[in-house]
Amino acid sequence: MNNYNAYKSLVVTRMLPPELGDCSRAGWKDSSASVIPKDRGISDVYRFLSVAAGICILLAQTVRAQEAVAMTRLNGIELGIDQQTGSLRYMSSALTGVILDATGDQSGLLDLAYPIKEFVPLRLASRFSQARIVQQDKGLTISYESLGPSRKGYKLPSGAVSALVTVRAADDGRSVIFSCRVVNGSRSAIAQTLFPDLWGLTPSNGVAGTELRFARGVVRPFAAKFRDPESAPPYWDRVGWKQYPDRSGYYSENALRWLDFGGLAGGFSVFQRKWATEDAPEVLTYRAESDPLHLRLAWQHKASLEPGQTWESGEFWLTPHPGGWAKGIEVFRDYVQQVNPPRDLPAHIRDGLGFQTIWMTQAPETDPQRVYFRFRDLGRVAQDALQYGLDELAPWFWNGSYFTMPILSSPLLGSEQELLEGIRKAKAVGVNVAPFVSVHIILNSELSRYGATPGRDDWTYHPDLIPEFRPYYGHDLEGAYIADDNALWQQDVQAALDQWIEKGMSSFTFDQFGYREVPGQKPALIKVIDRVRESARAEDPQSTFGSESITDLEWDTSILDYTWNWLDYEDAGPIVSVLRSPRLNCNIDDSPLAAKKCMAEGLYLNVMPSKPDSPNGTALVSEKPALAAALKDLAILRKQFLPYFVRGHALGDSILSEPTTAFVRAYELPDRLLLFVLNDRADAQQVVFRSDLRLWMPKANHTRIDEFDGQGQLVGTRRLDGIRWVGETRLLNPGEMSELEIKPD
């Protein structure tokens, strides 16, 4: 391996321009911005790198044969398989260059935790094993009669753990499918399975530009420091394992079983083809201090595999792509639309800019003079919200029976009749009201009904408490979380909500939409809310249901119209690209910049302005003039460009060929593109950016580019001949936004 790497580096370096320096075995990790000369465009640099990568592919086929590495080509993807262990040693394509380059002792494919009494850390893995590799029509199989252990000298339980890995070309002509079966024929349990286990990933887009992008968030693994130089953390916090959990709904970065590794110059997407099953894997990464320019990426399956049991991974589809993540997600999006066809949302949720949350009072409050809003204020709040494009209202603390059922309105805020009349008045002006209910936690005093024991789940807060939230001496709102499979609780939830539907309250926002996932079954809570929504739609076909997503977006999409999570702006473009429901919320207090980012991302604005030193949602939007002005503009833009949001696909910043100095988000329709360019810097600037339009409009050799200002007014038109676009905006002040629409000319 060392001879091959030295040869590859020597030959390729001589063919590159001298200012690029040495290209190491890691696959051009020196292609970061720091080594690109200022007078050479990044597209030119990557053109050189692509040529060099192609040379390396040719070299690999001859030199790696001497190292017992079998090379195979599937859908244009070059894979190098260690002929002894079956581990993946090499991966590249013409679209990406070299993206994985592993050594024999640090390469992977399958890795199992196999704790025995004598040595709990023991592992069984491909890299310790003898593989049998069989070439097939569309790929190959890698079989292990008995996976080998990480340590010798221990007496292992009788029997063998065998495995079969299949690698084949997908029918889409662009992806490779990895799948695995493990049979535990031994007398000891397997505690953890890592598959696929990819070692040796390289910073193919440079140290700063290579991203690991999840459905809701992005990390730059090669740019991260191992520790602060002045610190001395315990080694378990210093070593390079990072974990990205799979189960906390919209709160999770790893919110869908899809990820992308790469950057604006290309990369690969991976997803597991097992929609809405209970066994979604977590994602792990490892980066060693001794080898910081290689990354290990593995999918962790936690289910214990007992003696005699068999585990199936399902299919993991790996798709190389040019450009950013939005090209790689296309295969996943097509799959999701097959297994989870988009459903109709209430029209004002589908089309709307956002909603407003108001905090009517505090749960422990008893003084009617200290409330923030009364029931008779609902019509007034609705009129205020509507002029800023907000046509959904979520009142909090309207009920006097928090964490109990049935749900009773608070006499502190007015009569029940005043509440229902306020909802009707709001609806008459065009604003739907969805009061907030919280019944997943039940007060300790009520728990005996459900066979539960008192808990310490405490949501006590009030401005007069010290501190305001969960003081050690406050236990008024302590309770316990009731599992959604509790039959009596299900009955009470449905009865409590049906009671209000019959009275005229047909929409709700729901606290903590949590449920247990049972193999092959729809979660119990979703069954209950399905019935509630059926009753609500009988009263109002456009009734809504929003909630705090805390378990699984794959199930939430079937029932929630929008989320109510404690989240600000999130880089959630991949979710927006794949799912039409639920609309993902972002919380806005008084920041016009945050509101513009959220709108450009396609998020559903949850506007909850606060008075000074007061809870969220205690002020009217009109009391925040800068925010109010921004929302008016955003409502105009949302309406003007609505087809891009409701029928198009979100591209995030993938429209760019290289980073720029502004916040850029894009959308595509079949024959046109829309870019939002927001100056999020402190100084005015004319934003310059580069884009390769052939990735998004391959048939358009001549295009027209219309630029609009922050109020949607046309301010300029230009024409472009060709596919490489060096664009620029008008001069944008801090916080100012332009919209550019690109059409065939």
Give the C-alpha separation, 219 to 611, whole Å.
35
Give the C-alpha separation, 719 to 704, whole Å.
5
Give the C-alpha separation, 539 to 523, whole Å.
25
CB 56 within 8 A of CB 230: no
Give the C-alpha separation, 411 to 607, whole Å.
26
CB 395 within 8 A of CB 371: no
pLDDT at 699: 86
Block means of pLDDT (10 residues each) for the chain, 745 residues, are 34 28 30 29 40 45 60 97 97 95 94 97 98 94 98 95 98 97 98 98 96 97 90 82 92 97 97 96 95 97 97 98 97 98 97 98 91 98 98 95 92 97 98 97 95 90 90 89 96 98 98 94 97 98 98 97 98 98 98 98 98 95 98 98 98 96 97 97 96 92 94 96 89 98 94
95: CB partners within 8 A, 6+ apart: 76, 266, 320, 321, 322
Give the C-alpha separation, 423 to 432, whole Å.
8
pLDDT at 34: 28
pLDDT at 582: 98
48: CB partners within 8 A, 6+ apart: 16, 17, 20
Ordered alpha helix ranges (H), 453-559: 487-503, 524-539, 553-556
What is the Cα Rg of the chain in Å? 28
Q: Comparing C-alpha atoms, which of 471, 56, 478, 88 is closest to residue 270?
A: 88
CB 574 within 8 A of CB 256: yes
pLDDT at 242: 95
Residue with tokens 């002509």: 173
Give the C-alpha separation, 285 to 694, whole Å.
33
pLDDT at 506: 98
Q: What structural domains does the chain harbor?
A: 2-339 (2.70.98), 347-440+507-640 (3.20.20.80), 644-744 (2.60.40.1180)
Taking each continuous run of H as one helix and of E as one strand, the counts in the chain are 15, 41
Distances (CA, A) of 494 to 18, 340, 406, 723: 71, 26, 10, 57
Ordered alpha helix ranges (H), 430-507: 487-503
pLDDT at 104: 86
pLDDT at 715: 97
pLDDT at 401: 78
Give the C-alpha separation, 69 to 101, whole Å.
12
How many C-alpha atoms does 522 have within 13 Å on its Cβ side?
A: 10
Which is it for the CA torsion 164, 165, 169, 172, positive or negative?
A: positive
**Phi/psi at 524 (5° precision):** -60, -40
pLDDT at 331: 98
Please provide the DSSP assignment of 651-681 as one string. Answer: EETTT-SS--SSEEEEEEETTEEEEEEE--S
Bridge partners, 146 (sequence order)? none
Q: Comparing C-alpha atoms, which of 43, 44, 45, 40 is closest to residue 30?
A: 45
Give the C-alpha separation, 141 to 582, whole Å.
40
Task: Dump pLDDT digits (tens) for 281-320.
Answer: 999 999 999 999 999 999 999 999 999 999 999 999 999 9
Provide the token pair at 632. 């008016």
Give the C-alpha separation, 125 to 143, whole Å.
12
Give the C-alpha separation, 390 to 620, whole Å.
12
pLDDT at 240: 86
Answer whether the bond into residue 368 is a cis peptide, omega within 30°: no
Packing angle, helices 524-539 and 487-503, rounded to 10: 10
Packing angle, helices 378-386 and 416-429, rounded to 10: 20
